[in-house]
Chains A and B, each alone.
Chain A
Amino acid sequence: MLPAPFSADFINRLEALRLKTRKEFLGSRPGSYSSPRRGTSLEFADYRRYSPGDDIRYLDWGIFARSDRLYVKLFREEVDLFAYLFIDASGSMGFPSPAAKFSRACHVALALAYVVLANHDHVKLHLLRQGAAPVASPFYRGRHRIMDCIDFVSSSTPSGPVEMAPALAEHLKRLRRPGKAILLSDFLMPPASYQQGLNLLRALNLDISVIQVLARPELSPPFPRGGLALVDSESRAELQIQWSGELQREYRERLERHNRELKSFCHQSGIHYSLFVTDGELGEFVLETLPTIGLFK
Chain B
Amino acid sequence: MEFLNPTALFGIFLLPLLLVPYLVRRVPRRLVFSSLLFLRELAARSLGRPWGKPHLPPIFFLQLLLLLLLILALGEPVLSVRPLRIAVVLDNSASMQALEGEKSRFELARERARDLLRGLSANARVDLYLMVPALAQLGEKELAPGAAAALMGALAPYDLGDRMVDYGEELSRLVKEKGYERLFFFTDHPGRASGGAIRLVTVGRPRDNLAVTSFRIARPSFASTQQEARIEVTSFSSKEEKIKLSLKGGGKVLASRALTVGTRKSVATSFQDFPAYPAYEAEIEVDDGLALDNRRFAVAPPSGALEILAISPRPQALYSLRSVPGLSLQVVSPEAYERIGSEGHSVEIFHFSAPSLLPRKHALFVLPPIENPLVAVGGPISRPMISGWREPHPLTRYVNFALFRPPYARSLKPLSFGESVVESPEGAVAVGLERQGFRYLALGFDPFPYLGRENLPMSIFTLNLLEWFNEALRGPGAATGEPLDLSARAGEILISPKGEKFTAGESAALFSRTFFQGFYELARGQHKEIVAVNLQDAKESDLGDPAPIELKGEPAVSGSGFSLFAFWPYFLLASILLLFLEWFWSRPVAQP
Chain B interface residue bracket vs A: 20 to 34
Instruction: Tell me the minimal C-beta distance from B587 to chain A in angstroms.
Output: 12
A229–B39 touching, CB < 8 Å: no
Map CB proximity to A onto B25-48 as digits: 1 under 8 Å, 0 otherwise. Answer: 111111111111111101100110
A188 shortest CB reach to chain B, Å = 4
Chain A residues with CB below 8 A from B40, complex form: 239
Chain A residue at minimal CB-CB distance from B30: A229
The reply to whether B33 and A231 contact each other, CB–CB distance below 8 Å, is: yes
Which residue in B35, B38, B52, B592 is a CB contact (below 8 Å) of A242? B52
Query: B27, B34, B47, B590: which contacts A218 (Cβ < 8 A)?
Result: B34
Residues on B with C-beta less than 8 A from A228 are 28-31
Complex Cα gap A238–B36 (Å): 9
B35 and A224 within 8 A (CB): no
Cross-chain contact A251 with B39 (CB below 8 angstroms): yes
Does B498 count as interface, using CB distance less than 8 angstroms?
A: no
Q: B55 within 8 Å of A by Cβ?
A: yes
Instruction: Tell me the interface secondary structure of chain A in the complex.
Output: mixed
Q: Does A2 make an interface contact (CB < 8 A)?
A: no
Whole-angstrom CA separation of A244 from B589 in the bound complex: 15
| Closest Cβ–Cβ distance, residue B592 to chain A (whole Å) | 5
0/1 interface trace, chain B 445-485, chain A, CB 8 Å (1 if under): 00000000000000000000000000000000000000000
A231 and B36 CA atoms in complex are apart in Å by 8
**In the docked arrangement, what's the CA distance between A241 and B43, Å?**
5
Chain A, residue nearest B27 (CB):
A227
Which among B29, B34, B37, B590 is the interface contact of A95 at CB below 8 angstroms? B34
Tell me, rounded to whole Å, the shortest Cβ–Cβ distance linking B41 to chain A.
8
Residues of A240-285 contacting chain B, CB below 8 A: 240-244, 247, 250-251, 254-255, 258
User: Quick check: is B195 within 8 A (CB to CB) of the other chain?
Assistant: no
Q: Which residues of B contact A224 (CB under 8 A)?
A: 29, 589, 591
Given contacts A221-B592, A222-B590, A239-B40, contact A233 B47 (CB under 8 A): no
Could you tell me the distance between the alpha carbons of A255 and B35 in the complex, rounded to whole angstroms? Answer: 11
B46 near A247: Cβ-Cβ < 8 Å: yes
Residues of B within 8 A of A189 (CB): 35, 37
Determine which of A218, A229, A255 lies in contact with B31 in the assembled complex, contact meaning CB atoms within 8 Å: A229
- Cβ–Cβ < 8 Å partners of A96 in chain B: 34, 592
The residues of A with any CB-CB pair to B shorter than 8 Å are: 91-92, 95-96, 101, 186, 188-190, 215, 217-218, 221-234, 237-244, 247, 250-251, 254-255, 258
Which residues of B does A touch, CB under 8 Å? Answer: 25-40, 42-43, 46-47, 52-53, 55, 57, 589-592
Ranked 3 nearest A-B pairs via Cβ: A95-B34, A188-B35, A227-B28
Given contacts A227-B27, A242-B47, 10 further A-B contacts (CB under 8 A): A221-B33, A222-B592, A223-B592, A227-B28, A229-B29, A229-B31, A233-B32, A242-B53, A244-B46, A251-B38
